[in-house]
Structure 1
Amino acid sequence: MMRGINHQNIFEEQEDYYQFLKTLDLMALSYEPDGTPAGRNYTLYAYCLMPNHIHLLIREREDTIGMAIKRIASSYAYYYNHKYSRDGHLFRERFKSEPVNDMAYFVTLLRYIHQNPVKAGMVEAVGDYEFSSWGEYMDKNGTLFPLCDTCTILNRLSYNELNELVNASLSDDVACLDVEDVSKGRPSDDQVMSLIKEKTGVTNSSAFQQLPADIKKSVLIELKNRRASLRQLERLTGIGKSMIYRLK
């Protein structure tokens, strides 16, 4: 997940969305020094472009995930800054990512990504949103930008089964990558780190892990009570989710 710096929009008009899709297509290809095609840097399974953030379900190939996102972000930021006569960062420095280790979670992510516009109240149905990959699953041949490997999932689930799953709303408790949503009462990453600094004086996960056990426990329990998620706390403190879950 990539978010605009300071929550700013990264797409201002339709052309910008199309440019980002073109960037996804171009950055996926790798070439030999003489310009001949040499394979793919990554495989894309799903995407959703929201006004101020982007979700990608992506598999590493030639590039690591960090290299792939850097290429994508740098190329699009160059376009955006040139078009809108600005300079500086467009995206937050660090994208959010997590591994997908089984098909069940793969399907959950596929549903979560495509339901983003519905959850945000932008459209009534998943298929109504123009700038997600769901159109490729509905009709790959009728898609303006066919970017995704849809066969990986459609070889395991029929389209009718997948369509039913994707259009069945996920629980609000399912917050993949913990996209910050103040309306649901969850603290942002910045708010979590601010409280950690206020209570302990430390500003990073390594320093937090060196704190006395009773201090770590007290802070983590307070953050849990403030509705910080287990995955968010694990990512920001380096303490395992199972350990945080058991704290009372």
Structure 2
Amino acid sequence: MRFRYDDEGTPSGSNCTYYAYCLMSNHFHLLIREREESVGETIKRIASSYVYYYNRKYGRDGHLFKERFKSEPVNDMAYFTTLLRYIHQNPVKAGIVEHVRDYEFSSWGEYDGSVDSVFQICNVDTVLNRIPFEDLNALVNEPLADDINCLDIEDPSKRRPSDDQVWQMIIEKSGVTNASAFQQLNEELKREVLRELKKHGASHRQLERLTGIGRGVIQKL
């Protein structure tokens, strides 16, 4: 609870709109919308408040979170729902719990009603007005593909190919040398090439950037 509320009992980083969160042992995930302040200012506010509380409670000092935050814009509903699934499935993927509903430190309890409305900080109604709870529940509990790594959060031991290496593979498999030409290929060949590139470690974001093919399309392959 302390991570979500400041000393005055208001949601930490309340100058934004929350849609989802998940607090893990050494990092946290947020799905938020900017309002009066930037994402960077919001994260600083939340992290600073929590680190101050944590250090004071446990008699320690110094940093608690080691790396700078990563952020990425959400431009469509397909990616929004992917992030909802990714965030809430993080504890399941980490082997901490068996089901999304079993994890105490995420926003899923606000969606399924197990958290009292007094303690809710997420704009649940906006999401449920777009996606009925039955559909959202099924979606969030459907396992994500192993290669879906939002913000490219991944196992450091898995090396991504460089952009030049990706383009070399595209040229070898399709004969085209630029994004416009790749987009003009027949659908079957495009899908075949993209699947092969994913097998070789190319990320969804990298493929979207290099080929101009939408991430939603790439994720479904």
- TM-score by length of structure 2 reads 0.71
Q: 1:27 to 1:220 in 2, by over 3 A?
A: farther
Listed one character per residue, the Cα deviations across residues 37-77 of structure 1 (whole Å, up to 9, x for unaligned) are xxxx1000000111111010000001110110111111111
Match of residue 242 from structure 1: 210
Runs of at least 5 residues in structure 1 that lack an aligned partner in the other structure: 1-17, 30-40, 197-215, 235-239
Post-superposition offset of 1:137: 0.5
Aligned pairs, how many?
A: 183
Alpha-carbon distance between aligned partners in 2 of 1:230 and 1:48, rounded to the nearest angstrom: 23
Contact in 2 for aligned 1:21/1:145 (Cα 8 Å): no
Alpha-carbon distance between aligned partners in 1 of 2:112 and 2:34, rounded to the nearest angstrom: 25
Alpha-carbon distance between aligned partners in 2 of 1:169 and 1:22, rounded to the nearest angstrom: 31
Q: 1:218 to 1:168 in 2, by over 3 A?
A: closer
Q: Which of 174, 183, 186 in structure 1 is aligned with 2:158?
A: 186
Runs of at least 5 residues in structure 2 that lack an aligned partner in the other structure: 170-197, 214-221
Q: 1:81 to 1:161 in 2, by over 3 A?
A: same
Listed one character per residue, the Cα deviations across residues 147-167 of structure 1 (whole Å, up to 9, x for unaligned) are 100111100111111111111
Q: Secondary structure at the match of 2:130?
A: coil
Match of residue 35 from structure 1: none
Alpha-carbon distance between aligned partners in 2 of 1:106 and 1:171, rounded to the nearest angstrom: 16
Q: 1:20 to 1:48 in 2, by over 3 A?
A: same
Match of residue 86 from structure 2: 112
Alpha-carbon distance between aligned partners in 2 of 1:120 and 1:90, rounded to the nearest angstrom: 20
Contact in 1 for aligned 2:20/2:107 (Cα 8 Å): yes
Contact in 2 for aligned 1:126/1:167 (Cα 8 Å): yes
Match of residue 27 from structure 1: 12
Contact in 1 for aligned 2:13/2:43 (Cα 8 Å): no
Post-superposition offset of 1:171: 0.7
Listed one character per residue, the Cα deviations across residues 174-226 of structure 1 (whole Å, up to 9, x for unaligned) are 111122335xx524xxxx8xxx9xxxxxxxxxxxxxxxxxxx7369979x997
Q: Percent identity?
A: 58
Match of residue 193 from structure 2: none
User: Runs (4+) of structure 1 moved beyond 4 Å?
Assistant: 218-222
Q: 1:43 to 1:116 in 2, by over 3 A?
A: same
Q: Which amino acid is 1:27 matched to?
A: S
Match of residue 46 from structure 1: 20
1:31-110 → structure 2 map (5 Å cutoff)? 41-110=15-84
Alpha-carbon distance between aligned partners in 1 of 2:141 and 2:199, rounded to the nearest angstrom: 32
Alpha-carbon distance between aligned partners in 1 of 2:137 and 2:204, rounded to the nearest angstrom: 30
Contact in 2 for aligned 1:220/1:244 (Cα 8 Å): no
Contact in 2 for aligned 1:48/1:113 (Cα 8 Å): yes
Contact in 1 for aligned 2:166/2:202 (Cα 8 Å): no
Q: Which of 154, 161, 164 in structure 2 is aligned with 1:217?
A: 164
Match of residue 125 from structure 1: 99
Alpha-carbon distance between aligned partners in 1 of 2:135 and 2:36, rounded to the nearest angstrom: 32
Post-superposition offset of 1:93: 4.5
Contact in 1 for aligned 2:109/2:115 (Cα 8 Å): no
Alpha-carbon distance between aligned partners in 2 of 1:19 and 1:66, rounded to the nearest angstrom: 21
- TM-score by length of structure 1 reads 0.64
Match of residue 136 from structure 1: 110
